[in-house]
Structure 1
């Protein structure tokens, strides 16, 4: 009897520490649809009691420490995603030679990049399946699943035999790993972002969630540094034979650590009072939340196209500006660092002045600077001008990006937030991000004018600004809907 009481008390203490935390933005527990039908309100009271946590200054300090730990654990998955992105881009030529050997190096590179693009195709499927799973079963199990999938998808490239060893099975297995990675990418964004929002103090939500954007920049810097270090440390023959696999092996090392950390997180929803099926979640999104979905897609249209254009600038430096290869490598560091710093600043400011203001005004300044910035680097293609221009554009983009992901996620109620955000993010990245660099390349190639992409970027960012103007302010205590 005493043993049973001890187990019960242990789980009660877990609950009281906030194992299932009520969303601070929702004044009452969501109506208990699906599995939660007929709930008597006791769960709501328990959740509110869990929010109370520990009284006093010590309790507040402990809660902040726990929130910072949780942010680090969640941001780890985002870092793996963008580290993989940067590593694949850095070594795309060598991956092409290993898995798609042809007489024409360009064809090998094209096939390598095309396989990478498959990840974009399956992202929406991952968003739907895993995002809804997070709303039904909890954020923690969904994030643990996606981290394991990402680590396997990244680490498998480190050990896959090449075409010369196993023939056609090599490119087939490479495709499988990128599909796994794409599904994980699609399913990671929603649960991770919503978890941070729900675990953070309401008045500091954006300051915590901005790490989802900042880690993109830091991961890009890390991937670039890894590539640069390997290039310096290894002869070209060894780098081509096995050295390019080293960054991907980090995925295998991160897996046990990351899964262990995420399994120790406290969840932010009580699955007992969530929807039972994905169909019920989609029904509510379609019936009640079509406006935030549409606005979110328009906001991310401009943001995503800008992000992938900034990534393309390393190629632009080589092919159009004819700058040295070292400058292109340095551009990766500059873009990543400026994006991270801008995101951290934008998140902090967003908590003070509102999501819409930080979404809109840095984006307006970016819009005004885009054409003269491109004109400047084309007319004066020096390393200093190129890197300085890239720093300013990336910083403004990161500042706006920190606010927009919070605004989009907060536009959905907790019971469908992961699914809603996941679908919006994955569809936008697949449609607009997956095609952005191809469109930029086509515009330059067709017109012969390196300024040609400016119109494309101006329209995309104008749509983003207009959507931000139409969006509702979601900051706690904000002024509401425009």
Structure 2
């Protein structure tokens, strides 16, 4: 890699000929894979207890749930591998081919989960096949996460990177929202026995419909202008600088990843088990909160374009550092459903303040020719912690006997991320990156 300065070339300004229609297609192409990915990840988290009964039967409810969340986390172990393989392809051969490949892999593995026989049918092969399907999903997601983020930010040009990049989080929220909505509808319309017997399969099989739609959308979009402009340029980071930026990205994403799962995916299970909120109520609350993320993330991204990334990101980080434990203690103190509703909504608003500017701040750490690899790999390493956070939370509660201690895990992630924000160079007002 060359040691040329990160800021030496103008590669991220969209050319004047770029039309609004092209930008809208780019946003759609960047979002569609995330929606499928997080629809599946969300459904798995929301229906973890039901999946546990089918693939990890046990007389000990905690053991069964731990096993289910362990498989949930396994998908994140394959992410760094996928990020290196697919991220490198995206940087050398184009964003388009990687986005298409990850779309196919994600759709196929999602449908596979919906078709798997359960433990009662084939014994130990059932959880083994579930692990393989989750590994395939993780590999695809590893390349998807950073490549689509880079793609969206690059289409933002010189002054709207925060706004365009925030559609990454908006699409993640959309996928989780659809997953939460599907789980809520199934929980509301099916009996517990029907949900356990066959109802849980329905959301995964929907991937058979989402996959072709995603491929159609992505085939109609061009490469990002920034990538095309940089095709003849040398890589603008030395290996040492690249490794340093990857570590910075890893630290930056820790809070983002952990809060995503703790506040959104795991919260319905936590509220149902420890706060005496019914599963249906918890799922509908999560659905409403995710709708807020979907709508407000681009607004926070746009705000960071105007006032800078750091003020918005630091506010969110300090919120989780000091208020996570008190809020979790409050949730398990016997509050009413409506109080829980607004408490989770408050936590989601704090999460939006991080996830809205997050994609652009992360992408701005790397020059165009190594951006997909850097963002994907750094993010993938951190999301391993996020993926295993439900497992760690369940284990912590079972061994300490205090459900409010879940809040310390979220606060700890904020503490780990805080130095990355303090030393981060805010490039929101920088014309080229």
TM-score, structure 1 normalization: 0.79
Unaligned runs of 5+ in 2: 1-5
Counterpart CA distance in 1 for 2:272 and 2:191 is: 23
Counterpart CA distance in 1 for 2:316 and 2:272 is: 28
Candidates 164, 176, 189, aligned match of 2:145: 189
Aligned to 2:3: none
Counterpart CA distance in 2 for 1:319 and 1:411 is: 40
Q: SS where residue 242 of structure 1 aligns?
A: helix
Counterpart CA distance in 2 for 1:330 and 1:454 is: 22
Counterpart CA distance in 2 for 1:345 and 1:272 is: 32
Aligned to 2:390: 437
Instruction: Judge which range, 336-345 or 383-392, deviates more.
Output: 336-345
Q: Does 1:450 align with 2:403?
A: yes
1:91 to 1:257, Cα distance in 2 relative to 1, 3 A: same
Q: Does 1:309 align with 2:309?
A: no
Candidates 368, 372, 385, aligned match of 1:418: 372
Cα deviation for residue 168 of structure 1 reads 4.8
1:75 to 1:157, Cα distance in 2 relative to 1, 3 A: same
Aligned to 1:259: 215
Q: SS where residue 206 of structure 2 aligns?
A: helix
Kept after mapping to 2: 8 A contact 1:354/1:478:
no
Q: What's the RMSD between the two structures over aligned residues?
A: 2.9
Counterpart CA distance in 2 for 1:241 and 1:413 is: 50
Q: SS where residue 210 of structure 1 aligns?
A: helix
Candidates 232, 240, 248, aligned match of 1:273: 232
Counterpart CA distance in 2 for 1:99 and 1:368 is: 38
Counterpart CA distance in 1 for 2:280 and 2:328 is: 20
Counterpart CA distance in 2 for 1:212 and 1:333 is: 18
Q: SS where residue 203 of structure 1 aligns?
A: coil
Cα deviation for residue 194 of structure 1 reads 0.4
Aligned to 1:199: 155
Kept after mapping to 1: 8 A contact 2:45/2:266:
no
Aligned to 2:112: 156
Counterpart CA distance in 1 for 2:327 and 2:124 is: 46
Counterpart CA distance in 1 for 2:321 and 2:61 is: 37
Counterpart CA distance in 1 for 2:125 and 2:108 is: 18
Q: Which has the larger radius of gyration?
A: 1
Cα deviation for residue 175 of structure 1 reads 2.4
Q: Does 1:174 align with 2:127?
A: no
Aligned to 1:318: 272
Q: Does 1:462 align with 2:415?
A: yes
Candidates 216, 219, 239, aligned match of 1:286: 239
1:158 to 1:129, Cα distance in 2 relative to 1, 3 A: same
Instruction: Judge which range, 392-401 or 216-225, deviates more.
Output: 216-225
1:318 to 1:244, Cα distance in 2 relative to 1, 3 A: closer
TM-score, structure 2 normalization: 0.88
Q: Does 1:328 align with 2:282?
A: yes
Aligned to 1:56: none
Kept after mapping to 1: 8 A contact 2:84/2:373:
yes
Q: Does 1:51 align with 2:10?
A: no
1:176 to 1:457, Cα distance in 2 relative to 1, 3 A: closer
1:472 to 1:478, Cα distance in 2 relative to 1, 3 A: farther
Cα deviation for residue 397 of structure 1 reads 1.1
User: How many residues are aligned here?
Assistant: 424
Cα deviation for residue 136 of structure 1 reads 0.8
Q: Does 1:89 align with 2:48?
A: no
With a CA cutoff of 8 Å and minimum separation of 6, indicate the structure with the bigger relative contact order: 2
Q: SS where residue 273 of structure 1 aligns?
A: coil
Candidates 47, 68, 79, aligned match of 2:24: 68
